[in-house]
């Protein structure tokens, strides 16, 4: 098959994702309102906890810049990954997903295109959030915006692959919405998205162990270091390996010989 076929296949899937976001403006707006609300609330919480009268305000800003902002970026990626997978379940129920997967292009390529397109949409949402966050005096080094780009894409691919795997295991749209709550909130709160790991360890050794086993922690840490032009090698390795494992499992889940499609045929 010619390379142009792969290119047109990717562009078709990417345009479809873009059109979906344009048509669903509330989805894009909510992806910004949610982290901004958390930003305002936790910024106020840090000021109250640290004591603005004792600690200069700029140190308070540094604290939530380093810990809160990357965590909220992870929130955007996590919710968007789940929302994208929710659309996969909807497309499968409507039949459009089956049409896509019967394309002559390889199935892993089609699923990878879906994840990459979703990650690009998440990237646009993240940088829109970072633009607004500058009004809250969030100002990492200029190079950090460049270094963070591949980290955000990798984290978006990782979380999108998780959602893709879940969508291959869940048959009905109603069930997926419930599963999202059991996945999104534990992953977010049992991570270093809001508090540093050393602070969590002071509170609970068990919670610290859970946070270390949570791949979302490493996605946040990868972005946190990249925003300040640094590389967290361990986070990069864990995110890359986890993304590969989840994507491979999702491919199996969408394999008509072994995954969901076979179970649906057997059930019918």
In which band, very low, low, confident or very high, does the pLDDT at 225 lie, cut at 50, 70 and 90? Answer: very high
State residue 24's pLDDT score: 66
In which band, very low, low, confident or very high, does the pLDDT at 266 lie, cut at 50, 70 and 90? Answer: very low
Query: Rounded distance, CA 69 to CA 130, Å?
Result: 9
> pTM (2 decimals)?
0.82
State residue 155's pLDDT score: 95
Model confidence at 262: pLDDT above 90: no
Asked whether the beta carbons of 114 and 88 are under 8 A apart, the reply is yes
Query: Rounded distance, CA 30 to CA 20, Å?
Result: 15
In which band, very low, low, confident or very high, does the pLDDT at 113 lie, cut at 50, 70 and 90? Answer: confident
Complete DSSP assignment for 70-90: HHHHHHHHHHHHHHHHHHHHH
SS3 for 152-206, per residue?
A: HHHHHHHHHHHHHHHHHHCCCHHHHHHHHHHHHHHHHHCCCCCCCHHHHHHHCHH
41-81 per-position pLDDT tens digit:
766 655 555 444 333 433 444 455 667 788 889 989 998 88
1-10, 126-135, 237-246: range with highest mean pLDDT: 237-246
Tokens of 127: 């940088």
Q: pLDDT: is 3 or 82 the higher one?
A: 82
153-192 per-position pLDDT tens digit:
999 999 999 988 888 877 666 666 677 778 888 898 899 8
Ranking 22-31, 133-142, 236-245, 253-262 by mean pLDDT, the lowest is 253-262
Read off the DSSP letter of residue 1.
-
């Amino acid at each position: 098959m010619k390379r142009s076929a792969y290119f047109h296949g990717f562009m078709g899937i990417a345009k479809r994702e873009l059109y979906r976001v344009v048509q669903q403006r509330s989805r894009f707006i909510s992806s910004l309102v949610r982290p901004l609300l958390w930003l305002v609330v936790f910024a106020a919480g840090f000021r109250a906890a640290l004591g603005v009268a004792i600690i200069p305000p700029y140190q308070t800003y540094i604290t939530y810049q380093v810990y809160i902002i990357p965590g909220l970026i992870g929130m955007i990626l996590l919710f968007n990954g789940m929302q994208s997978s929710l659309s996969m379940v909807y497309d499968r129920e409507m039949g459009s997903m089956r049409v896509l997967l019967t394309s002559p292009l390889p199935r892993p390529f089609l699923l990878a295109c879906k994840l990459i397109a979703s990650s690009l949409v998440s990237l646009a949402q993240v940088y829109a959030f970072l633009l607004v966050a500058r009004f809250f005096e969030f100002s990492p080094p200029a190079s950090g915006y460049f270094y963070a780009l591949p980290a955000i894409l990798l984290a978006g691919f990782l979380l999108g692959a998780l959602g893709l795997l879940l969508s291959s295991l869940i048959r009905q749209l109603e069930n997926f919405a419930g599963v999202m709550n059991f996945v999104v909130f534990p992953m977010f709160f049992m991570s270093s998205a809001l508090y540093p790991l050393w602070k969590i360890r002071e509170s609970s050794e068990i919670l610290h162990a859970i946070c270390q086993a949570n791949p979302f922690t490493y996605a946040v840490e990868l972005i946190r270091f990249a925003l300040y032009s640094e590389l967290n090698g361990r986070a990069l390795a864990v995110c890359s390996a986890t993304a590969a494992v989840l994507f491979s499992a999702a491919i199996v889940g969408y394999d008509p010989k072994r995954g969901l499609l076979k179970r649906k045929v057997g059930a019918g």
